[in-house]
Amino acid sequence: MKAHNILIPTDFSEESISVLKLAESFVNDFGSTIHLMHVVPVTKYFAESFAHIGYPYDLEKELYPKALNVAHNKLEGLAEKYIKKENRGRMISIIDRSPSSAIVQQANSGRYDIILMATRGEHGSEFLRGSVTEKVLRRSEIPVFSMEKPFKEEDLNNIMVPLDMSDASFAALPVAVQIANKFGASLTLFHSVELYTADVEMIPLFPPFDDENVIKTSLLNKVGGYLDKNNELGLKFVRDDDKDAYAIEGELDGEKFSINVNTEVTKGFSANRDIVDYANGNADMVVMSTHGHTGLARLFLGSTTEQVSQHVHVPLLTVRPDKQKESKK
The string of DSSP codes covering 47-69 is HHHHTT-PSP--IIIIIHHHHHH
Quick check: helix, strand or coil at residue 168? coil
What are the structural domains, with CATH classification, of the chain? 5-147 (3.40.50.620), 153-327 (3.40.50.620)
Task: Give dist(CA 248, CA 264) in Å, integer.
Answer: 16
Question: What is the pLDDT, as a whole number, of residue 127?
Answer: 47
- Interior CA angle at 264 toward 215 and 300, to 5°? 80
Dihedral sign for Cα atoms in the order 221, 326, 114, 255: positive
Question: What is the pLDDT, as a whole number, of residue 328?
Answer: 43
Task: Give dist(CA 241, CA 217) in Å, integer.
Answer: 9
Question: What is the pLDDT, as a whole number, of residue 164?
Answer: 85
Question: What is the pLDDT, as a whole number, of residue 299?
Answer: 40
Task: Give dist(CA 107, CA 140) in Å, integer.
Answer: 7
- The H-assigned helical ranges of the chain are 14-17, 19-30, 42-50, 64-82, 99-107, 133-139, 172-183, 212-229, 271-282, 300-303, 305-311, 323-327
236 sits in which H/E element: strand 236-240
Q: Which residues of the chain are modeled with pLDDT < 70? A: 43-63, 120-130, 195-210, 291-303, 323-329
Question: What is the pLDDT, as a whole number, of residue 123?
Answer: 46
Of the CA atoms within 13 Å of residue 271, those in its CB half-sphere come to: 28
- Interior CA angle at 63 toward 59 and 68, to 5°? 120
237 forms beta bridges with: 248
For the entire predicted model, the pTM comes to: 0.82
